[in-house]
Amino acid sequence: MDIQSIKNRFGIMGNSPALNYALQVAVQVSNTDLTVLIMGESGVGKEAFSSIIHTLSARKHNPFIAVNCGAIPEGTIDSELFGHEKGSFTGAVDGRKGYFETVNGGTIFLDEIGELPLGTQARLLRVLEAGEYIRVGSSKVQKTDVRVIAATNKDLLELVHQGRFRQDLYYRLSTVPIRVPALHERKEDIHLLFRKFAVDFAEKYKTAPVQLDDDAKGMLITYPWPGNVRELKNIAEQISVLSQDKNVTAKDLAKFLPVVSSNRLPVLAHSNGIGSSQEFANEREILYKLFFDMKKDVTELKKMFLEVLQNPNLAAQNPAFLNELKELKNHENVQSLYNVPQTMQAAQPVLVHNDIHAHEEVEESLNIMDKEKELIIKALKKHRSKRKDAALDLGISERTLYRKLKEYDIEE
C-alpha cells in the first residue's frame, strides 16, 4: 500500500517530507512484531500512527487498546496493566484481568510512556523480554503475546540521565523509533489542514466555509502552534463559529491566535549574566529560583532594619526611607518567606541583640525537600485533603502530588 492510500484511509493530510517518511517507516514495520517508539510533541497525532501499525499488521483481527499512562494513578497502574488477585490490596474485592491478559494476541498502545513509575517499568521490561508478567498479589508467572507500541512527548534519554526512566527499557522500546514532526516543521501543510477543518465544520453545520486572505495565511503559517494539529483544529472551529465575515483577514485572525511566549518557565541566570534558554527540568528547580529571589528581598529588608537600629533618627529624618521600608516589607516574596520554615532560608544573617550594634551571621541549611514537604502539607490542610485542589494550588499535577505524598510519607 502506497503512502497516499494510507493517508486517504486514515484521514491524514499533508505532503511534508518528514511526515511522509514517518508514515513510510510505520508501514514497513507494521508486518513485524517489533516494538515501536513513536516520538513527537503533544497534539501531532501519535495515536493515529499506532492505529496504522496495528491495522496493517497480522494482528489486525485481534484486540487493540490505547492506554494513557499519565492518566492512571501510580497506585493502580500495575493492576490496570497486569491485573490483581482478590484481596491483594484494599478494595480488591475480586480478582481482575489486566490489559496484557485481555489483549493477548493483539496490540497495546502505551501513550505517555515516560510517566510510568520505575517499578512498573521493570514489570514492562519483563513482558517485552520474556513475554511474562505476574498479577499484583500473585506469585504465578503468566504468559502473554502482545505487541507493544509506545509513545512519548518527552526526551526519554534525558529522563534516563535524571534517573526517572530505565535505560534498558528505553533501548528495548526504541527498537524502531518513529518521529512524528511538529506542525511548525510542516509549514507547507498548515493552510491545507486549516482549510480541511473549516470545510468539515461547514459541512457539518450546513454553512459556508471561512476563507483566509493572503496576509491571514502568512500569519497562520508563522504562528508556532505549540498545540500542533489539535490546536489548529480548535482555532479553525472557533473562527468558523465566531467570525462575522467568512472572508477572514489577518486582523480578524489575530483575535483568535493566543500570544505564545517562547519561554514559558523561569530560567536561571549564568554567572556571566547571559540568560539560559533551557527550561527547568522539574518543579524543584522552580522552587530554588523562587527562594533565591526571596533571599534577595529579605537580605535588603534586614539591611534596612539594621540601618534603622543603628540610627533611630534615620526614619524620622527621612519619611521616604520609611515608606520604602514599608513597601519592601509588603513585597510578595518577603511576605511569602514569613511562612517558610527556618530550614529553607539560605544563609540569612540573623541579629542577636546583646546591644543595638552587636550581631552575628548564622549559616542556616538550605533543604529544598523540607520546604517541599511543608508546602504540600499546608496545601492539603488549606483544601481539606482534596488532592485535586491542592495540586492546582501547588502548580503540579495530581499524579505528581500523589507521588510526593508517597515519597515524603505524608498522611492525609
pLDDT tens readout for residues 192-220: 999 999 999 999 989 999 999 999 999 99
Q: Which domain holds residue 397?
A: 369-407
User: Is the pLDDT confidence value at 279 over 50?
Assistant: no
Residue 275 maps to a domain: no
Q: For residues 358 and 122, which has the higher predicted lDDT (pLDDT)?
A: 122
Q: Which of 213, 235, 254 lies at the terminal end of a domain, its last residue?
A: 254
Would you say residue 265 lies in a domain? no
- Higher-confidence residue of 67 and 327: namely 67
Cell matching residue 154: 518527552
Q: Which residue has the higher pLDDT, 82 or 302?
A: 82
Is 208 part of any domain? Answer: yes
| Pair type for strands 141-143 and 132-134 | antiparallel
* Distance between CA atoms of residues 358 and 356, nearest Å: 6
Say which residue the cell 536561571 belongs to. Answer: 268
Residues 234 and 347 in one domain: no
Residues with Cβ < 8 Å from 303, sequence gap 6 or more? none
205 and 324 in a single domain? The answer is: no
Does residue 121 belong to any structural domain of this protein? yes
pTM: 0.62
Per-residue pLDDT, 161: 94
Amino acid at 6: I
Same domain membership, residue 35 and residue 172: yes
- Is the pLDDT assigned to residue 358 strictly greater than 90? no
Same domain, 12 and 147: yes
Tell me the three cell numbers of residue 56.
496493517
- Is residue 139 located within the same domain as residue 236? no
Q: State whether 169 and 44 are in the same domain.
A: yes
The Cβ of residue 383 has, within 10 Å, a number of other Cβ atoms equal to 16
pLDDT average, residue stretch 80-92:
83
Percentage of the residues of the chain whose pLDDT score is greater than 70? 73
What average pLDDT does this structure show over 173-180?
94
Beta bridge partners, 66, equal: 109
Out of 162, 181, 200, pick the residue that ends a domain: 181
pLDDT at 376: 86
Question: Tell me, what amino acid is at 56?
Answer: L
Between CA 182 and CA 22 the distance in angstroms is 12
**What's the rounded mean pLDDT across residues 311-316?**
61
Residues 55-75: what's their mean pLDDT?
93
The CATH number of the domain where 226 resides is what?
A: 1.10.8.60
pLDDT band at residue 324 under the 50/70/90 scheme: low
Residues 300 and 340 in one domain: yes
How high is the pLDDT of residue 322? Answer: 58
pLDDT for 216: 94
Does position 353 have pLDDT exceeding 70, yes or no? no
pLDDT at 287: 58
The domain that holds 386 is classified in CATH as 1.10.10
Residue 259 domain-assigned (yes or no): no
DSSP 8-state symbol, 71: G
- Please tell me the total number of residues recorded for the chain in this structure: 412
Asked whether residue 150 is domain-assigned, the answer is: yes
The phi, psi pair for 295, rounded to 5°, reads -60, -40
Domain final position from 204, 233, 254: 254
Mark whether 76 and 45 lie in a shared domain. Answer: yes
Residues 244 and 350 in one domain: no
For residue 265, is pLDDT > 80?
Answer: no
Is 381 among the domain residues?
Answer: yes
* Residue linked to cell 489575530: 254
The total of structural domains in the chain comes to 4
Q: Domain check: are 13 and 44 in the same one?
A: yes
| Under 8 Å between Cβ of 89 and 136 | yes
Q: What is the mean pLDDT of residues 99-114?
A: 95
